[in-house]
Chain A
Amino acid sequence: MAADRPVARPRPIYLNLFAIRQPVPAIISIMHRASGALLFLAGIPLVLWFMQRTLASPEGFAAAFGPFATPFGKLVLLALAWAYIHHFVAGVRHLMLDLHLGIDLPSARRSAAVVLVLSVLLTLIVAVRLW
């Protein structure tokens, strides 16, 4: 009966994103989105520019690596490397979830932590190779 319904009480709305403690899967989810946006905005044009330069001539091949030898260039490259690696590893986790692998909560949280740690470790390998 509609008349028996309890009257809705005004409840507090508490949506301060910086005060809510996010679970690990939520953190890697937003990082998946952020890294994807970065790869679209900077990654695609940079890859095409790099391919064009490196395939053009031996001089172009050598010159294309020039910007990535500067400290700023290395940081940009490292940020993009992290974005690609994180997006890749988080994507593999997504495909596994699609195949119903590890969909119970403890497994999903554990795999999310693995994504976070593994992508940082792989990015560190890139950093070591860069410096």
Chain B
Amino acid sequence: MVSGAGRQPVGAHYGTRDWLSQRVTAVVMGLYTALLLVIVLWHGGMDYATWKALFSGGAFRVASFLFMVSLLVHAWVGVRNILMDYAKPTSVRLVLQTAVVCALVAYAGWTVQVLWGAS
């Protein structure tokens, strides 16, 4: 948030962080998608044993976690833009944005449980 006497109305790059995080997370997700696609095609499909073995590797778990965190950050930037465009009353926008943040944080917890949970 930027406010006060020092506020620069134009050309101040207030959105640069959102813009950049959207791009960086997109690249991370793109690379992971390519990696997963190559692995599945390499095995000519997937069975439980191969799938389980893949996700028991620490490096692949970390890569999957990076993908999911990128997805959640990316989704926040995008959904926030959508809500800023269409949910005009501030009260409605606040409620919807709060709901989205809650969902994304819950998804992050679910991700940790799926990747490192006792299973």
Residues of B within 8 A of A92 (CB): 30
B52 contacts partner chain A, Cβ-Cβ < 8 Å? yes
Residue A36 is within 8 A (CB to CB) of chain B in the complex: yes
Partner of B30, one of A45, A57, A91: A91
Sort chain B's interface into a size bin. Answer: 20 to 34
Nearest CB on B from A27, distance (A): 17
Q: Are B114 and A45 in contact, with the CB atoms below 8 A?
A: no
Distance of A35 from chain B, by nearest CB (Å): 10
Q: Does B111 lie within 8 Å of A61, measured CB to CB?
A: no
Known: A33-B82, A36-B78, A44-B71. A55 touches B51 (CB 8 A): yes
Once the chains bind, are A54 and B30 in contact (CB under 8 Å)? no
User: Count of A residues near B, CB < 8 Å?
Assistant: 23
Q: Are A48 and B114 in contact (CB-based, < 8 A)?
A: yes
Main secondary structure of the interface of A (DSSP, over half): helix
Q: Mark B52-64, 1 if CB is under 8 A from A, else 0.
A: 1001000000000
The reply to whether the CB of B87 lies closer than 8 angstroms to some CB of chain A is no
A65-95, CB under 8 A of B: which get 1 and which 0? 0000000000000000000000010011011
Q: Please name 13 pairs of A and B residues whose Cβ atoms are closer than 8 Å in the assembled complex, sorted by A.
A: A33-B82, A36-B79, A39-B75, A44-B71, A44-B107, A51-B115, A52-B110, A52-B113, A55-B51, A55-B114, A58-B48, A88-B33, A94-B26
> A39-B75, A61-B48 given. 6 additional CB < 8 A pairs?
A36-B75, A45-B107, A48-B114, A52-B114, A62-B48, A88-B30
- Residues of A whose CB lies within 8 Å of any CB of B are 33, 36-37, 39-40, 44-45, 48, 51-52, 54-58, 61-62, 88, 91-92, 94-95, 98
